[in-house]
């Protein structure tokens, strides 16, 4: 009787669910189009002629297909390659370091038998609500740590995240049974060995979710080179180079517009020396392409890591 009442859906319910599902499908398709369309537009403009962009505006399908923007960028040669190398090295090194620190900090906080668990949790939660501000942050990095104008300046400031510690703590607590930890201790395993051989392998989904977000932060960062790298252009990453190109374009364009007629061949300078829209779009494609390619490999664990806690309740 109960199954007849609640275990089966009536024909009326099925009739209602069809248009509802159709509506949700349409909304999801629209959401995908809204997210994908701007990137396709960027790709289209990056392969467009400069005059076509001025005359016809932005188009997904170029009026005249050309790779001149990419030739212009890679004409810098060593600068682009070096910026790519710096970005890849900082992203890989910073993400691995971040995951190690966060997971080692989260594991003891997830154990109820850890005596100072509440004290350490309070200690890391305070900065979430009370920030010291930019000046103390800058003084710590330049005067205390002395990492200014070194590659560590691009890694250390993002090597720890309170939010990620709380997220990993919950993940470890909900997905690693206490009985497994106790069994390892009975067998004589040390805490570090338990962390290394049990906690880390069982936390792959959570680590993948955190790792992708951290890698994205490192890859897209231009703030740290701007603040902490002042006299070593060999440490400029790809995003900061893009930032400099855009700023250079804006500054020189303003200079040309305000120049006295006859003192500057504005049209020639603008055509030959200043990157235009297609070049800026090509830089955006070069900067974002690798991280978009990497996402499908992380997607399964990324989604699982975010929702597994809510599923287990």
Over residues 157-204, the pLDDT tens digits come to 999 988 899 889 988 888 888 888 888 888 888 888 888 888 888 888
Q: Is the pLDDT of residue 47 over 50?
A: yes
Q: 248 in a domain, yes or no? A: no
Q: Which of these three, 36, 66, 96, is where a domain ends?
A: 66
pTM exceeds 0.85: no
Whether residues 9 and 92 fall in one domain: no
Do residues 236 and 86 touch, judged by C-beta distance below 8 A?
A: yes
The pLDDT-based confidence of 96 (bands split at 50, 70, 90) is: very high
Alpha carbon 131 to its chain centroid, in Å, reads 22
Structure tokens at 210: 């955190």
List CB contacts of 238: < 8 A, sequence separation 6 or more.
80, 83, 84, 86, 87, 286, 287
Domain-embedded: residue 259: no
Give the pair of three-digit tokens for residue 243: 């930032």
81: its two tokens: 């390659």
Q: What is the DSSP string of 137-183?
A: HHHIIIIIS--TTSGGGGTGGGS--HHHHHHHHHHHHHHS-HHHHHH
C-alpha separations of 128 from 67, 104, 131 in Å: 46, 19, 7
- The whole domain housing 15 covers 2-66
Q: How confident is the model at residue 2 (pLDDT cuts 50, 70, 90)?
A: very low
- From 34, 66, 98, give the residue that closes a domain: 66
Whether residue 249 lies inside any domain: the answer is no
Residues 287 and 173 in one domain: yes
Give the whole-angstrom CA distance, residue 211 versus residue 264: 50
């Amino acid at each position: 009787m109960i199954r007849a009442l609640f275990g089966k859906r009536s024909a009326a319910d099925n009739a209602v669910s069809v248009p509802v599902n159709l509506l949700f499908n349409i909304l999801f398709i629209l959401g995908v189009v809204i997210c994908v369309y701007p990137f396709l537009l960027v790709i289209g403009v990056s392969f467009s002629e400069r005059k076509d962009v001025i005359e016809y505006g932005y188009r997904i399908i170029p009026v005249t297909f050309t790779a001149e923007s990419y030739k212009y960028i890679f004409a810098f040669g060593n600068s682009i390659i070096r910026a790519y190398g710096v970005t890849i090295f900082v992203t890989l090194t910073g993400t691995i370091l971040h995951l190690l620190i966060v997971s080692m900090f989260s594991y003891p906080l997830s154990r109820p038998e850890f005596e100072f668990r509440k004290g350490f949790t309070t200690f890391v939660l305070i900065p979430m609500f009370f920030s010291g501000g930019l000046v103390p942050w800058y003084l710590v990095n330049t005067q205390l740590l002395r990492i200014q104008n070194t590659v560590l300046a691009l890694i250390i400031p993002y090597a720890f995240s309170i939010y990620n510690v709380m997220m990993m703590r919950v993940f470890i607590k909900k997905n690693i049974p206490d009985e497994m930890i106790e069994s390892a201790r009975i067998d004589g395993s040390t805490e570090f060995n338990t962390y290394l051989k049990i906690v880390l392998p069982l936390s792959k989904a959570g680590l993948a979710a955190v790792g992708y977000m951290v890698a994205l932060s490192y890859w897209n960062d231009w703030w740290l080179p701007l603040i902490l790298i002042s006299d070593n252009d060999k440490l400029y990453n790809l995003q900061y180079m893009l930032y400099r190109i855009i700023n250079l374009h804006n500054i020189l364009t303003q200079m040309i517009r305000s120049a006295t007629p006859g003192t500057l061949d504005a049209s020639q300078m603008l055509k030959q020396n200043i990157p235009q829209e297609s070049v800026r779009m090509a830089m955006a494609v070069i900067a974002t392409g690798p991280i978009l390619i990497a996402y499908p490999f992380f997607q399964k664990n990324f989604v699982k890591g975010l929702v597994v806690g809510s599923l287990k309740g």
